[in-house]
Chains A and B, each alone.
Chain A
Amino acid sequence: MPILTLIQAVNDGLKVAMREDERVLVFGEDVGPKGGVFLATEGLTTEFGKQRCFDTPLSEDGIVGAAIGMAANGLRPVCEIQFQDFIFPAFDQIVSEAAKLRYRSGGQYTAPMVIRTPYGGGIRGGLYHSQSGEAYFTHTPGLKVVIPSTPHDAKGLLLASIADPDPVIFMEPKALYRHAKGEVPAGHYTVPLSTLRTVREGEHVTVFCYGSMVPVVEKAAAQAAEQGIECHIVDLRTLLPLDEQGVLEAARKTGRVVIVHEAPRFCGYGAEISAMIAENVIEYMEAPVRRVTGFDTPFPNTLEHHYLPDERRVLDAIEEVARF
């Protein structure tokens, strides 16, 4: 089985989708002959022509708005927002239109489309090339929000997202684009949306994470294991709709929970996981839920390695929860 990086897996997934289904179009800023600023769309214009993979004017609102119209009229658009930090001009189109078209039309009109966008820090991108905006979208019924953390999942979840009848925000952890490597099957396969991935089995502490935080948590768990603390790591990978029962089961298994994400803490995605546990399985809990997150500040630049949860901070939380 070929070994691919996460970005190569995305590229492979796009090619597979475009070969299988001529309704699939890829467009966005610089995605054409240049192949995207991270090369996610490299070679697509050459293979599929400029009718099916093309550059757009610099207009996030227009890219997403037009994608909705294409989807409502029978295409399967896969558009790219170059950095998730630049998605906000399209927020209205995503939240008011794509997310609500099926509901408001009683199912008469739908928007099966994917918005791919790199998110997260770790590349010295400063305030506007580093943010993790998943919670803006997970607060919006009608959207699906998917974040892979491995090359295998990146391709499988992308193909599932493109085939999905509803709009998907597909957030790619740019810090892992070239650092995450792994076996990726050739050709078509899917990883079903709304399923969790158990990264590591363990009986002492359950750690929920997704995207770029997964390898950080894995390293912290390896260090915890040296002290005899065995972590149960769950990669959420679809944040909306979430496999809630799977989350509750994993929380109940150890009764001790740490949640890790790089987005700010206040009203962050971890708050929902924490509330879900408090509402449903508090009687099984042996310790307070602990969150390890980015600060409630804008994203920094020089000190980004301190802003992002690292092995040290994650390990500290695991130890604290285990000892409680």
Chain B
Amino acid sequence: MSQRIQLISPAGKPVGDLPKLSDGRLKDLFTHMLRVRVTDGRMLTLQRAGRIGFVGTSTGMEAAQIGSAAALEPQDWLWSGLREGGAAVMRGLPLAEYVAQMYCNANDTAKGRQMCNHFQHKGTHYPSWSSVIGTQIPHGVGAALASKQRGEDAVHAIYFGDGATSSNGFHSGMNLAAVWKVPAVFVCVNNGWAISVSAKQQTAAHSYADKATAYGMPAATVDGNDVLACYATMRAAVARARSGDGPSLVVLETYRMMGHSSSDDPTKYRDEHEVAEWRGKDPIERFEHFLSQKGVLAKGERSTIEAALTAEVDQVIREQEAAAPMALKTLVEDVYAEVPDHLKRQYNHFIEVAERHGDAQPGDGAFPL
């Protein structure tokens, strides 16, 4: 078993070889972590107010998400699970599209078809995730093979949680990736819980990193609340994949401070002492201590950044509240490249009834047949 990699102690002291990042870059990482926390908080408020349906927060996991994804280059792909939306924003998903997706409104690039918290962004290679645990893993492997065959300089980072390591997709994806030696990095964000099943109940393996051995793949275990350790470890794994040496597994050990989602009450299945212990290991506070001690962050600067991020997300929320209604034709579009006749007929029958009841908008009318 590999050593758990830590570069900053919980008190914010350097304890290892730090990656060479400029002060500006360090502050950017901190800002991206804060944006995840601020945005999650805002989304939860909207959910409690009944404005949006569902939120899966990354609270407590900001270092794992931001630190690891910051090691990717623009041409690299990020195959996500539920909680990588903040990384998507850092890599270029416009906040407006993020919030539109949470509203599932007419501005949503997925046309409101997915439940909340299922982001995508084609421009930065962040494909749409289904909801099924682990199915994205072989997708990332196949896409990595395509990149390799074309000789592209693209690495595919495939994210999933501790629960997904029990899925078919994990097994088949890890196996194929190693056999095909594709440019991929498997990122297991072990946040301790798969809804109500703890990471200890998920496997009898000594560690999640041990699983890589059976596939003939190296692995690293990282203190997932240490943003620089996440960055540096991921950077090495990405470099290895990029150079043609094949895939590896990176396990980021962190903690899901909130419920699985806004629909979940974690007090029913986990001990408050455990949560309190992790509260003391907060990744943002740790990085804040580090940056303050390094003189990168001035006293009180965190609140200034937070206030700006809050104003930014609130402005976007106001804009998205005003979105137009969803076009009804989206019911039958994008099932196939062309809407087939049988769907046109189903829609036409539906819209005839809707129009009779005054439910249709201009443009919702029947398809010509």
Give A residues with C-beta under 8 Å from B.
25, 51, 56-57, 59, 61-62, 64-75, 77, 89, 92-93, 96-97, 100-110, 141-142, 144, 164-166, 194, 241-242, 244-245
Contacting A at CB under 8 A, from B279-294, are none
Hey, which chain B residues are within 8 Å of A72, CB to CB?
127, 139, 142-143
User: Which residue on chain B has the smallest CB distance to residue A141?
Assistant: B335
Q: Is B205 located at the chain interface by the 8 A CB criterion?
A: no
Contact A57 B179 (CB under 8 A): yes
Other A-B pairs beyond A105-B127, A109-B122, 5, CB < 8 Å: A61-B169, A62-B176, A73-B147, A97-B139, A106-B110
Contact A59 B172 (CB under 8 A): yes
Contact A75 B336 (CB under 8 A): no
Hey, which chain A residues are within 8 Å of B336, CB to CB?
102, 142, 144, 165-166, 241
Segment of B40-48, B65-73, B128-136 engaged in the interface with chain A: B128-136
CA distance A262 to B10 in the complex (A): 66
Segment of B228-236, B268-276, B337-345 engaged in the interface with chain A: B337-345
Q: Could you list 16 A-B pairs, sorted by A, with CB under 8 Å? A: A61-B138, A65-B173, A70-B145, A71-B142, A72-B143, A73-B142, A74-B150, A75-B146, A77-B142, A92-B132, A100-B130, A102-B336, A106-B109, A106-B110, A108-B122, A245-B341
Contact B113 A103 (CB under 8 A): yes
CA distance A165 to B108 in the complex (A): 23
| The residue from A51, A59, A65, A106 contacting B135, defined by CB atoms under 8 A apart | A65
- Tell which of A108, A144, A244 has the most Cβ of chain B within 10 Å: A108
Contact B120 A105 (CB under 8 A): yes
| The residue from B109, B118, B140 contacting A69, defined by CB atoms under 8 A apart | B140
Q: Is B8 located at the chain interface by the 8 A CB criterion?
A: no
Given A61-B168, A92-B135, A103-B334, decide whether A66 and B130 contact each other with a Cβ distance below 8 A. no
Hey, which chain A residues are within 8 Å of B109, CB to CB?
105-106, 108
Q: Is B304 located at the chain interface by the 8 A CB criterion?
A: no
Q: Is B202 located at the chain interface by the 8 A CB criterion?
A: no
Hey, which chain A residues are within 8 Å of B114, CB to CB?
104
CA distance A107 to B143 in the complex (A): 18
Contact A65 B138 (CB under 8 A): yes
Q: Is B303 located at the chain interface by the 8 A CB criterion?
A: no
With both chains docked as a complex, state the minimum distance between the C-beta of A194 and any C-beta of chain B, in angstroms.
Answer: 7
Contact A107 B142 (CB under 8 A): no
Q: Is B144 located at the chain interface by the 8 A CB criterion?
A: yes
User: Which residue on chain B has the smallest CB distance to residue A194?
Assistant: B340
Hey, which chain B residues are within 8 Å of A110, CB to CB?
337
Hey, which chain B residues are within 8 Å of A67, CB to CB?
142
Interface size on B, residues (CB 8 A): 47
Hey, which chain B residues are within 8 Å of A97, CB to CB?
130, 132, 135, 139
With both chains docked as a complex, state the minimum distance between the C-beta of A183 and any C-beta of chain B, in angstroms.
Answer: 30
With both chains docked as a complex, state the minimum distance between the C-beta of B89 and any C-beta of chain A, in angstroms.
Answer: 17
With both chains docked as a complex, state the minimum distance between the C-beta of B337 and any C-beta of chain A, in angstroms.
Answer: 4
CA distance A100 to B127 in the complex (A): 13
Contact B179 A70 (CB under 8 A): no
Hey, which chain B residues are within 8 Å of A89, CB to CB?
168
CA distance A92 to B137 in the complex (A): 13
With both chains docked as a complex, state the minimum distance between the C-beta of B52 and any C-beta of chain A, in angstroms.
Answer: 18
User: Which residue on chain A has the smallest CB distance to residue B175?
Assistant: A57
Q: Is B3 located at the chain interface by the 8 A CB criterion?
A: no
B332-365 CB mask vs A (1 if < 8 Å, else 0) is: 0111110011110100000000000000000000
CA distance A165 to B169 in the complex (A): 25
With both chains docked as a complex, state the minimum distance between the C-beta of A90 and any C-beta of chain B, in angstroms.
Answer: 9
With both chains docked as a complex, state the minimum distance between the C-beta of A108 and any C-beta of chain B, in angstroms.
Answer: 5
Q: Is B22 located at the chain interface by the 8 A CB criterion?
A: no
Hey, which chain B residues are within 8 Å of A142, CB to CB?
335-336
User: Which residue on chain B has the smallest CB distance to residue A110?
Assistant: B337
Q: Is B211 located at the chain interface by the 8 A CB criterion?
A: no
Given A57-B179, A93-B135, A97-B132, decide whether A66 and B142 contact each other with a Cβ distance below 8 A. yes
With both chains docked as a complex, state the minimum distance between the C-beta of B138 and any C-beta of chain A, in angstroms.
Answer: 3
Contacting A at CB under 8 A, from B25-57, are none
CA distance A103 to B118 in the complex (A): 13
B319-334 CB mask vs A (1 if < 8 Å, else 0) is: 0000000000010011
CA distance A166 to B118 in the complex (A): 22
CA distance A59 to B142 in the complex (A): 13
With both chains docked as a complex, state the minimum distance between the C-beta of B134 and any C-beta of chain A, in angstroms.
Answer: 9
CA distance A11 to B30 in the complex (A): 57
User: Which residue on chain A has the smallest CB distance to residue B141?
Assistant: A66
User: Which residue on chain A has the smallest CB distance to residue B118?
Assistant: A104
Contact A51 B149 (CB under 8 A): yes
Closest 4 CB pairs of A and B: A65-B138, A69-B142, A62-B172, A66-B142
Hey, which chain A residues are within 8 Å of B141, CB to CB?
62, 65-66, 69
CA distance A93 to B146 in the complex (A): 18
Q: Is B240 located at the chain interface by the 8 A CB criterion?
A: no
Contact A108 B120 (CB under 8 A): yes
B69-91 CB mask vs A (1 if < 8 Å, else 0) is: 00000000100000000000000
| The residue from B113, B132, B341 contacting A96, defined by CB atoms under 8 A apart | B132
With both chains docked as a complex, state the minimum distance between the C-beta of B321 and any C-beta of chain A, in angstroms.
Answer: 21
Contact A68 B138 (CB under 8 A): yes
Q: Is B260 located at the chain interface by the 8 A CB criterion?
A: no
